[in-house]
Structure formats: structure tokens, C-alpha cells
Amino acid sequence: MNSQSSKTWSNWAGNQTSNPLSIKKPQNEEDVVEIVKEAKKRGLKVKVVGSGHSFTGIAVTDEVLVSIDAIADIRDVDFGNLTVRVGAGIKLCDLNPILQRSGLAMPNLGDIVYQSISGAISTSTHGTGLEFKTIADAVCGMRIVDGQGQVVECDKQKNPEIFHAARVGLGALGIITEVTIQCVEAFNLHAVEEILPIGEVTNNFDRWSKTTDHIEFFWMPNTDKALLKRNTRTLEAPPRPRNKRHSLKRRWNRFKNEEIKQNVLFGAMNHLGKIIPPLVPKLNSMVAGESGRAEYITTSYEVFASPRRVRFYEMEYAVPINYGIEAFRRVVELIGDLDHYISFPVEYRVLGKDEIPMSTATGRDSAFIAVHVFRNTPFEKYFQGVEEIMADYEGRPHWGKLNFQDHETLSNNYPQWEAFQNIRRLMDPFGIFTNPYLDKVLGPLT
């Protein structure tokens, strides 16, 4: 096993840092067992980090930090049942092309694919689509090293209560070493992306979301425009390029849209807006007006996810689907009343309910409203205002995105809260996997 003594760690957004006593890099499950047993003996806490893409302190520790990047192998592909068994450290961006080559795909994905599979499921990471669920819902088996260094195998038949809770475990139940995922047959997405008046989008969104596989919109503050994305699942192949020049042109158009407009230009505009805030509304109008309309068909994971190079801070809330648009309209009003401009879009997605105790969509079809600010700019007043609105709808914050809640306010919104806490006590009786964020949102282990 590789090990390294104290080094500063920070997350993707740069708003969470820590100085772990040691950073451990296990090569296999036996190494993980040894790390947990040793930490228990020495009275130290242990925290696994995936890709560090959470905005909250969920992966922060000043004690033993574990990176399971090396446990990222493909262990088995079951073509009959469409399942794949992988080392828990595998990144979605590495997994997706491998699945594709095997004729398989993840049923649904979020906006990016740099997360580890175990990090993504642990925070209830999701994409969009009322007929689809959280990434964690696709998990059908796991191996976890618990707080006593024992390996627990779980699925619907074996240790079903643990399995039920551990798919969204917030890193509080143990170290996941292996994940089995229920995939689907590989598919393409027919993507239509267009700029529309925000009123048209909000008036029709609930109806469209019932008939569109994957739908979301991004509203640019201080403008009346939104980018609406509608993706339809298809087995139809992408149209063949007419010739080499046509193929190059298509690739260039995509690069221009995703890389130049959404990353390079958007980043430059945010820097400019930070230096000269009164320019923000004008810059927002330029961003909203710039993107145009795009329509294409390609591999599912390439449509779901895009690169996000401009660093930001984010808060996201899930509310019952019927209140989503109302809550969004209140966020629009709030932004209008703020004493500063917001230069990042508000994102709106939908998702079908699942039954996982700590999933943000547990027991209810949900609308997700995400707010962002450019990194190193003030967010507190804006995000607190959004959180107050969401409280009126029993809003649930994304576990990996900024929020100001604690276990007393959160427990009421999760019907299976106690069931999760029972499994937490069983899996981590000595509190090895706790940290200040978990103590706050889940409460101290009692």
C-alpha cells in the first residue's frame, strides 16, 4: 500500500481544505481492512475521498485520508443480466467508454463524469428525467469495510437492510470497495438544445417533463431567456458525416459550443463581472443570447455530461415535483431583490422517486433547483435566501452541495431517517467515519 504523511488536500472548488495526518492509497480490499483496524487501534478517524467534487465538507478530515483511486478495476461483466462489478474507486469517465464497448450504459448520469462511482452514489448524485432515478438506485450490490474492519457483502438478498441504506451512505457507513451496477443496453440520445423565453419554459415545463426522457433548463439571471435541453433516448445512429470536411465541421461546432462558449468565454465573462459587477446583466444577456440552437444524436454519456472548467460554488435543493416551478419563480424574485448581481445560471431538473433512505428523491418525485456563484465570490446571502424558500417546500439539500442545515432540521424531511441511523450505529459503532460535516447533518453518533 502507498502511504504519504501530512499533505494539504483541497476539493475541486477550492472551498474545502484539510491537512490530513496521513494519506493512504490502498491497492486492494485487504489494505482497506488494515487501514481501518489500525485507525481503530490508534483512535483515529478515517475518511475516503473520491474525486473531491463535493462542495461541502463531507470528504474533509485532518486525520486519515484514504484515496481508493487504485481500486478501480472492472471485475465482471454479466451480459445476461446487464450488470457490471467494479472497484469502487473507478471514475465515471473511465467506466462509461468501457460500458459502451461492452454494449452497456449507465441508465442515467449527471452533468459531469469526473466523480468516482462510490462518491457519486454516496451523496445521491443524479441527472434528470421523471422516468429515471438517482445513480445510487442503479446499484445492485456492494462490498463495504465497516468500522471494525470487517468486510460486509450486501445486496437485495444478503444483508438487505445494510444494502438499502448504504447506496446513499454519505461516507458514514464504511469504505465501499466494490460496486455492482445494474446497467441498461447502450443507447444514444437525440439532443435538442435551444434558447427560449423563460416564461414559455416555466409555463410548459411540467407538461414537457412528462413526455421527454431527460429535460432540464438553465435560466440566466437578469435575462428573460433560458437554455432548454431535451434529450430523447434512441437506438438510431448518429447521421453519417457527408464527408471529412462535414465531420470536422460538426466536431468543431461541438467544441466551439462546449469548450469555447461554455468554458473559455464564460470563464472570461465571470472574471470581468467580478472586476466590474455592473457589467454582469449585460454579460449574462450575451451568454444567454450566444448559444443558439443545437440538435444532434450521439452516445448517451457524451450528451449527459460536459466539461465544467469554470470553478464555482453550488447549492441544490430537491422539492416535491408539484412545487418545483413555484419554488423556482420565488428564486427568480429573490435574485431580483439581491443587492448584487448573479453571473451563473440557475439549473432546473426533475427526477423519479426511489426508496433509498437518504436519497434526496426518497419517496417523492422531485424537482431540483441548483444555484451557483463564481468561485471566491460571496454566496452566503443568496444561498441562505434560496434555502429559506426551499424550507417552505420541505426541501432536501444535495449532500455534496453547500447548505446551512443540521440534523434537527433535516431529520423531519426523511421518513426513513431512524432506519438509516440504526444502520449507521451498526456499521460504525466507534464513530471512525464521522467528521464535522456528518456530525452536523446526521448528528453525533449516540
Distance of CA 59 to the CA centre of its chain: 14
Which residue do the cell numbers 446571502 mark?
Answer: 381
Q: Which of 248, 249, 266 is nearest to 307 (CA)?
A: 266
Asked if residue 298 lies in contact with residue 188, where contact means CB atoms within 8 angstroms, the answer is yes
Q: Which CB, 48 or 432, lies closer to ligand FAD?
A: 48
Q: Which CB, 226 or 305, lies closer to ligand FAD?
A: 305
Task: Name the minimum Å distance from CB 332 to ligand FAD.
Answer: 21
Q: Which CB, 82 or 327, lies closer to ligand FAD?
A: 327
Q: Which CB, 117 or 226, lies closer to ligand FAD?
A: 117
Task: Name the minimum Å distance from CB 240 to ligand FAD.
Answer: 31
Inter-CA distances, 108 with 133, 135, 188, Å: 7, 7, 12
Task: Name the minimum Å distance from CB 117 to ligand FAD.
Answer: 8
> Rounded to an integer, what distance in angstroms lies between the CA atom of residue 168 and that of residue 419?
13
Q: Which CB, 50 or 273, lies closer to ligand FAD?
A: 50
Q: Which CB, 82 or 357, lies closer to ligand FAD?
A: 357
Query: Which residue ranges make up the site for ligand FAD (CB under 6 A)?
Result: 12, 47-54, 58-59, 68, 88, 110-112, 115-116, 118-120, 122-123, 125-126, 170-171, 175-176, 308, 398, 400
Asked if residue 147 lies in contact with residue 432, where contact means CB atoms within 8 angstroms, the answer is yes
Task: Name the minimum Å distance from CB 154 to ligand FAD.
Answer: 13
Task: Name the minimum Å distance from CB 339 to ligand FAD.
Answer: 27
Task: Name the minimum Å distance from CB 303 to ligand FAD.
Answer: 13
Q: Which CB, 72 or 279, lies closer to ligand FAD?
A: 72
Asked if residue 285 lies in contact with residue 222, where contact means CB atoms within 8 angstroms, the answer is yes
Q: Which of 33, 18, 118 is nearest to 65 (CA)?
A: 18
> Rounded to an integer, what distance in angstroms lies between the CA atom of residue 48 and that of residue 52?
10
Inter-CA distances, 320 with 15, 218, 325, 352, Å: 30, 19, 10, 10
Task: Name the minimum Å distance from CB 282 to ligand FAD.
Answer: 26
Helices (H) and strands (E) in the chain, counts: 14, 21
Q: Which CB, 112 or 315, lies closer to ligand FAD?
A: 112
The pairing of beta strand 83-87 with beta strand 175-182: antiparallel
Q: Which CB, 176 or 342, lies closer to ligand FAD?
A: 176
Q: At what angle do helices 324-337 and 380-391 cross, to 10 degrees?
A: 150
Task: Name the minimum Å distance from CB 175 to ligand FAD.
Answer: 5
Q: Quick one: cell of 228?
A: 432548454
Task: Name the minimum Å distance from CB 260 to ligand FAD.
Answer: 18
Contacts of 357 (CB under 8 A, 6+ apart): 164, 165, 168, 414, 416, 417, 419, 420
How many CB atoms are located within 10 Å of the residue 417 CB? 18
Task: Name the minimum Å distance from CB 386 to ligand FAD.
Answer: 16
Q: Which CB, 344 or 382, lies closer to ligand FAD?
A: 344
Q: Which of 115, 6, 102, 4 is nearest to 55 (CA)?
A: 115
Q: Quick one: cell of 78?
A: 454479466
